[in-house]
């Protein structure tokens, strides 16, 4: 009997604490002028090198379906990344920006692919010192030909076409192969230029004048009409709320993060910096086409 009473007391205490926390949280919203469960501004954060678009696109789609999110701030702090990943994110942001207000807030770096995805939003805000721009494409790989020759090791390749092993790290690239890859890069580069010209309402010739891979400060980008305003994250949130017609201080909504499983945590801990970095680069002989700052 005493045990049952103890359990009942614990339940009552737990419920009471939950009610107190709820009332306290609601009071904070009221003090700040924020209506609980009202329309808010969703925050999508893109940090680091962009190679995988899956999680970002999932968040974009989730926010597009939520009725309580009427505006979104895309917080970008990225030196760039893969071409395909950037294009996929850009396309989904375009769809979102057709239904809701989407404002980009550029952090320390929003260059190359980081700038590319920002073009899919309605408005771009950058800090004066943000590193942005770097409009261009890079294709790079490793070449072991000299080292292999010194060791007396020769590679062997059987291929179906003359360009099938272009970039083979065990031999020098031919002039024909270099020209072929340059045509490929030029095509992807012009895709970038056309998107900048379209979204920033600039002529392609104007974009080409600065699309040589150069980095720009936020202040420089504003003068060149590559962004819309100088400001920080809070300024971007205020702008998004204003454009969406939200009165008072907006409610800020972050995506719900999924918890990692115990297995994934253990596997992650087992990885070493060597395996993740140097070894991966040595084992991956393929070229990677990127909109990215070289670091």
The structure tokens listed for 169 are 């790290």
Q: How far is CA 229 from the centre of its chain?
A: 20
Q: What is the CA radius of gyration of the chain?
A: 25
Q: Known catalytic residue: 112?
A: yes
> Which among 61, 164, 194, 225 is annotated as catalytic?
164
| Active-site hit among 78, 112, 118, 134 | 112
Q: Is 225 a catalytic residue?
A: no
**131, 134, 137, 109: which is closest to 213 by C-alpha?**
134
Least Cα distance to 81 among 288, 277, 287, 290 occurs for: 290
∠ CA 8-10-16, nearest 5°, is 105
Residues 6+ apart with CB under 8 A from 109: 77, 78, 79, 130, 131, 132, 293
Q: Tell me the C-alpha distance between 113 and 90, whole Å.
A: 9
Give CA–CA dist 141/144, Å, rounded: 10
CB atoms under 10 Å from CB of 47, counted, come to 12
Nearest to 111 by CA among 49, 60, 201: 49
Longest dimension (CA), the chain: 89
Helix (H) / strand (E) element for 12: namely: helix 2-31
What CA–CA distance (Å, rounded) separates 97 from 148?
52
Which ranges constitute the DSSP H helices of 80-174?
A: 83-99, 113-118, 145-150
Across the chain, how many H-helices and E-strands are there?
Answer: 12, 11
Catalytic positions = 112, 164
């Amino acid at each position: 009997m005493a045990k049952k009473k103890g359990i009942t007391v614990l339940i009552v205490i737990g419920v009471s604490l939950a009610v107190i926390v709820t009332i306290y949280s609601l009071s904070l919203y009221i003090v700040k002028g924020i209506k609980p469960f009202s329309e808010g501004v969703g925050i999508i954060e893109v940090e680091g090198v962009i190679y995988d678009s899956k999680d970002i696109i999932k968040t974009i789609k989730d926010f597009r379906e939520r009725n309580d999110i009427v505006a979104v701030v895309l917080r970008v702090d990225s030196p760039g990344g893969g071409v395909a990943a950037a294009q996929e994110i850009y396309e989904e942001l375009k769809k979102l920006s057709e239904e809701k207000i989407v404002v980009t807030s550029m952090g320390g770096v929003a260059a190359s692919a980081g700038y590319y995805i920002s073009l899919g939003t309605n408005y771009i805000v950058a800090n004066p010192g943000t590193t942005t721009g770097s409009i261009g494409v890079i294709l790079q790989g490793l070449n072991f030909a000299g080292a292999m020759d010194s060791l007396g090791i020769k590679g062997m390749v059987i291929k179906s076409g003359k360009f099938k092993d272009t970039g083979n790290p065990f031999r020098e690239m031919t002039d024909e192969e270099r020209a072929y890859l340059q045509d490929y890069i030029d095509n992807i580069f012009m895709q970038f230029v056309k998107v900048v010209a379209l979204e920033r309402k600039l002529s392609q010739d104007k974009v080409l004048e600065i699309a040589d891979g150069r980095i720009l400060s936020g202040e420089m980008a504003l003068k060149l009409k590559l962004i819309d305003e100088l400001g920080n994250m809070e300024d971007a949130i205020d702008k998004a709320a204003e454009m969406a017609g939200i009165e008072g201080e907006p409610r800020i909504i972050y995506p719900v993060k999924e918890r990692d499983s115990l297995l994934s945590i253990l596997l992650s801990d087992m990885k070493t910096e060597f395996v993740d970095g140097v070894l991966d680069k040595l084992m991956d002989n393929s070229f990677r086409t990127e909109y990215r700052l070289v670091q």
